Structure 1
Amino acid sequence: MVIQSVNSSIVEDLDSFESYFLTDSPQSIAAYREAMVTAQEAIIEDFASQKQPYSGANPQDLAKILATIEPCPEFGCQLQQILKYISENILKNSAIVSHPTCIAHLHCPPLLSSLAAEVLISASNQSMDSWDQSPGATLLEQRLIDWLCKIFGYDAKGDGVFTSGGTQSNFMGLLLARDAFALRRLNWSIQQQGLPPEFQRFRILCSDVSHFTIRQAASLLGLGQQAVVMVESDRNYCLDADAVERKLAELQSKDLLPIALVGTVGTTDFGSIDPLSELADCARKYGLWFHVDAAYGGALILSDKHKHKIDGVWAADSITVDFHKLFYQPISCGAFLVKERDNFELIKLHADYLNPETNEDAGIPDLVTKSVQTTRRFDALKLFVSLHSLGRKKFARMIDSTIELAQETASLIKSKEKLELANYPAINAVVFRYLPSQNATDFDCKRANQVNSQIRMQLMQQGIAILAQTKIGELTYLKFTLLNPRTSVVDIKRVLQAIQNIGDELRGTE
């Protein structure tokens, strides 16, 4: 596609930039409507209408296509032209996340209500770092944070802030854990003085299947990945409290300083849920900050049928919860909650141009004091609109249906001689693999791994399904992440049959 440039001086003479921004002028409003309609049609025709989870080009061909366009031309073009280019070259080469067999990752189909809210968020461009940039938005976000604290079992002393997702929220949990330990146990302010002399002895405990952002956070916090002690999980991929106790005793015998314990509600690969109450007791006994990474499974709090699985979450000092997973929000949207709002004092700073102390004296809230971000989107709005559009019970029905589907899927896999189930799903992640032979001694593990990897690639290239791949020890496994409530047992049966067919064909070529 050739994009025709237009001399910018001509455009400026015609409209004096009026058509580039959303204002109250008729010219601006007409241009905005045309832009929105063009974008909507592109999404409908070249994204939503796709019949396969992926029908685009391979990586090499796609790179060649995109190499033909300049990132920044000297002169602009008509907006409709560039949107058409994006439609043909990006949207048509996208994973269709709303398709029932796009089941690879914790990557949900977004609700229509949240897509409508995104229009309001981007057009109004509220910035959540100071009240005068987002007056109503600031107060609405705080209302949602108060509600989240309540449903997760915190009392009036709880607080939180919206984040970009689990990475940022986990970072904040360990940031506060580090700084709280230094201040309360060592009488040392990291904010003012930097890391204390003892920092190389700090240790953070988590399971060996916890999210990689625990190690990432330790690295970014100056503690190094060596500060993270991974405790071996049990056969259900859950952290065992007795194993944690043994590890803590070992660390103390080596004169090391455990500062935090991380529990997980929904591990990425298996959806496993750690025993939160037992871990909370252990954390209290040893004086540790207890952080719960509920980015994946936090949505169970909405389900009358399954919320018992996260009993004890209220005992956490901090909680990560994501809304761009089982709350069906567009990326990015998450929250970080703390049991005691006073802990935010550890990272609080004043900037005269943003949150002058006179605002605080007048009772005007500035949310920047609770965040590691300055400029921040009004992502709370899309969750608010969706909660009101669906209501809690509809959310719960959607979540429950995906868990039921995962359980049925596990049963189907278990009944297949050529498939091996790795886990019984606690939420809606199902891990399994194709067996090139019923007798595990008859085939080479390396070849088995190659077959499973090839199955995954062929499923995507043929437009049948998008699956994830993971490893257990040295073995390669496939994974269904069944977030989409529109995915049916019929879809799953078709994908499982395709897996067996492709696997058998690959075996036949040996």
Structure 2
Amino acid sequence: MRSHLLNDLTAEHYRRSVTEGVERVAAKLATTERPFTGVTVDALAPRVERIDLDRPLHDTAAVLDELEEIYLRDAVYFHHPRYLAHLNCPVVIPAVVGEAVLSAVNSSLDTWDQSAGGTLIERRLIDWTAARIGLGPAADGVFTSGGTQSNLQALLLAREEAKTGSLGRLRILASEASHFSVQKAAKLLGLGQDAVIPVPVDRDRRMRTVALARELERCTRDGLVAMAVVATAGTTDFGSIDPLPEIAALCARYGVWLHVDAAYGCGLLASVKYRDRLAGIERADSVTVDYHKSFFQPVSSSAVLVRDGATLRHATYHADYLNPRRTAPERVPNQVDKSLQTTRRFDALKLWLTLRTMGADGIGELFDEVCDLARDGWRLLAADPRFDVVVEPALSTLVFRCVPAGVTDPAEIDRANLHARKALFASGDAVVAATRVDGRHYLKFTLLNPETTTADIAAVLDLIAGHAEQYLGASLDRAS
């Protein structure tokens, strides 16, 4: 069994096995003609369920053949230019190299004596990101598993800094378009169901600052404590960016913690053309960034950053077997002192190798390309009478729906769009997302692939319109 471990006796086995796996995946990436095969759960589940995990194959090639059948053949491939659905990006090669290195060495980024240089690389990247944001010399942060964890930790810090004895009085203010993790964090933090106050948005799906001011004043009047305002720089549905300077001014006036959820919009930190769209983020008390969204990194690669590193003490616990309190005066750089996690992957390495290979401008140019593509896609939709598009994009998201000629019943239009998305997914020709806008069903393109073209967008729109029309035609046949 020792031959299956990575040690000096098995280096050649490691090299051969990894090479076989890489070649298999590379072949799939080179030959995949569609983003998805259209396989159903009923068709795929039996293949997985019939595998006897207690009877190993003892052969890498045979295992990869099996993996081809149950995973690689039917995976959803984000690198395909017609994958247009969720906030999933194709990944850059330096980051994939980093993934291979960090998995093989298997550092754990909780204590210095488990990671050494890995700790310093992560800390350097936190400093780099904080400087890009403009948080100031006292800033700090830590890598996380994703935006949900980052938002949770930021709101934990805000709760502790609020200094109130009654959790029931605490309130979080966030726009109606904010991420669901804000509500989840409130529940996990022991706050009441009414703790999150939704703030109305304008026609561009940006938080209305007049409404925010009204809610802050109401909290003061009613004896409630506004522990945090969550502004979003890149909402999941619309890519909208809340008016950060105005929100920051209100938070300063009322003495409220400002958290900016920039999980999506953080790509603008490297942008060559659109960095000014994040103006005001430098005034935040905490910021969420997801490098695995708009820095083209593999999942997971994310961080939470704070203006005042001292606030991270609210996540610090000492264990004699890990980070004993007696070592604190020695200033041993244990990242577990800042993190909600203990054992934690060296995900920072992927971003480090990407920056050292491509540079920040290289990443930013890729993100600028998808923002430009979204603007072109919006023009296509706005000029096409078959579609209704919701807002002009601030980032790379388009929300729209097909409105077939002669159909006026909103419910029938809803059903046609739901059918079109389902039929498109089943065909495997493209993958798009869906959402609800003002109670009606809409479709969504999230453009994070610089290889996608306006021709791809136009072709997918034609497919959507075709499926919607087929559904309406079949519906008329059934009615007659």
TM norm structure 2: 0.96
For 1:407-426, what aligned pairs fall within 5 Å after superposition?
A: 407-426=375-394
Structure 1, unaligned runs of 5 or more: 1-16, 187-195
- Residue aligning to 2:456: 491
Which of 157, 163, 167 matches 1:176?
Answer: 157
1:236 and 2:204 matched: yes
Q: Distance in 2 between matches of 1:469 and 1:48?
A: 29
Match runs of 1:474-489 below 5 Å = 474-489=439-454
Structure 1 counterpart of 2:12, one-letter code: A
Contact persistence 2:135–2:284 (CA under 8 A): no
Q: Give the aligned residue type for 1:503.
A: A
2:349 to 359, 378, 381: 381
User: 1:320-469 maps to which residues of 2 (within 5 A)?
Assistant: 320-437=288-405, 442-469=407-434
1:217-296 correspondence runs (5 A): 217-296=185-264
SS at match of 2:260: strand
Matches within 5 A, 1:60-79: 60-70=42-52, 72-73=53-54, 77-79=58-60
1:95 counterpart letter in structure 2: V
Which sits farther off after the overlay, 53-62 or 236-245? 53-62
Among 40, 60, 69, the alignment partner of 1:88 is 69
Q: Which residue of 2 aligns with 1:5?
A: none
State the alpha-carbon separation in 2 of the partners of residues 321 and 407 from structure 1.
23
Which of 110, 118, 121 is the matching residue for 1:129? Answer: 110
Superposition pairs for residues 78-227 of structure 1, below 5 Å?
Answer: 78-182=59-163, 186=164, 196=165, 198-227=166-195
Residues 322 and 334, structure 1, Cα contact 8 Å, conserved in 2: yes
- Aligned residue for 2:279? 311
2:270–2:360 contact (8 Å) kept in structure 1? yes
Contact 1:206 1:229 in 2 (8 A): yes
Give the letter for the 2:160 counterpart.
Answer: D
CA drift of 1:247 comes to 1.2
In 2 relative to 1, CA 453–341 (structure 1 residues): closer, same or farther, beyond 3 Å? Answer: same
Return the offset for 1:276: 0.7
User: 2:466 maps to which residue?
Assistant: 501
Q: Distance in 1 between matches of 2:30 and 2:316?
A: 44
1:260 aligned counterpart, secondary structure: strand
Secondary structure in structure 1 of the residue aligned to 2:292: coil
The CA distance in 1 between the partners of 2:48 and 2:315, in whole Å, is: 43
2:27 to 45, 56, 74: 45
Give, in whole Å, the separation in 2 of the partners of 1:467 and 1:95.
Answer: 12
Q: What is the DSSP-based 3-state SS (H/G/I as helix, E as strand, rest coil) of the residue aligned with 1:324? A: helix
Question: Partner amino acid for 1:93?
Answer: D
Residues 127-152 of structure 1: CA distance to partner in whole angstroms, max 9, x if unpaired? 01100000010011111111111111
AA aligned opposite 1:151: R
2: distance between equivalents of 1:485 and 1:47?
Answer: 16
Alignment match, 1:192: none
**Matching residue of 1:9:** none
8 Å Cα contact 1:208-1:230 kept in structure 2:
yes
Following superposition, the deviation at residue 76 of structure 1 comes to 5.5
CA gap of 1:504–1:489, structure 2 versus 1, over 3 A, is same
CA–CA distance in structure 1, aligned partners of residues 56 and 465 of structure 2: 53
Deviation for aligned residue 1:358:
4.5
Distance 1:318 1:332 in 2: 20
How far, CA to CA, are the matches of 1:334 and 1:289 in structure 2?
A: 21
CA shift digits 1:70-117 (9 cap, x unpaired): 3x3155632332222112211111111100010100000011111111
Identity between Structure 1 and Structure 2 (%): 39
TM-score normalised by the chain length of structure 1: 0.91
> 2:12 aligns to what?
30
* 1:20 paired to 2:4: yes
State the alpha-carbon separation in 1 of the partners of residues 269 and 95 from structure 2. 20
1:362 CA displacement: 2.6
What do residues 259-302 of structure 1 show as CA deviations (whole Å, max 9, x unaligned)?
A: 11010000001000001111111111111110000000011011
1:238, CA displacement in angstroms? 0.3
Contact 2:57 / 2:63 at 8 angstroms: preserved in 1? no
Secondary structure, counterpart of 2:464 in structure 1: helix
Matched with 1:191 is: none
3-state SS of 1:321 partner: strand
Matches of 2:456 and 2:120 in 1, distance apart? 43
Structure 1 CA distance, aligned partners of 2:388 and 2:373?
Answer: 18
Q: Provide the C-alpha distance between the structure 2 equivalents of 1:336 and 1:314, rounded to a whole number of angstroms.
A: 14
Q: Which runs of 4+ in 1 moved over 4 A?
A: none
Letter paired with 2:84:
I
Deviation (angstroms), 1:492 = 1.0
Residue 226 of structure 1 aligns to a residue in which SS?
A: coil
1:364 deviation in Å?
2.2
Contact 1:111 1:329 in 2 (8 A): yes
Offset, 1:337: 0.3
Residue 132 of structure 1 aligns with an amino acid whose one-letter code is: D
Stretch moving more, 311-320 or 59-68 = 59-68
1:74 & 1:479 partners in 2: Cα distance?
Answer: 44
**2:9 counterpart of 1:55:** no
Distance 1:155 1:409 in 2: 38
Q: Aligned partner of 1:24: which letter?
A: D
- Number of equivalenced pairs: 475
Task: Kindly report the root-mean-square deviation, in angstroms, between the aligned alpha carbons of the 2 structures.
Answer: 1.4
Q: Is the 8 A contact 2:400 2:442 kept in 1?
A: yes
Report the CA distance shift for 1:263/1:93 in structure 2 as closer, same or farther (over 3 A). Answer: same
Deviations 1:425-452 (A, max 9, x none): 00000000001335xxx53222211111
Query: In structure 1, how many angstroms separate the alpha carbons of the residues matched to 2:67 and 2:55?
Result: 19
Is 359-368 or 123-132 further displaced after alignment?
A: 359-368
- The Cα offsets for residues 149-188 of structure 1, whole Å up to 9 and x where unpaired, read as 1111022100010111100100011000001112xxx3xx
Structure 2 unmatched ranges of 5 or more: none
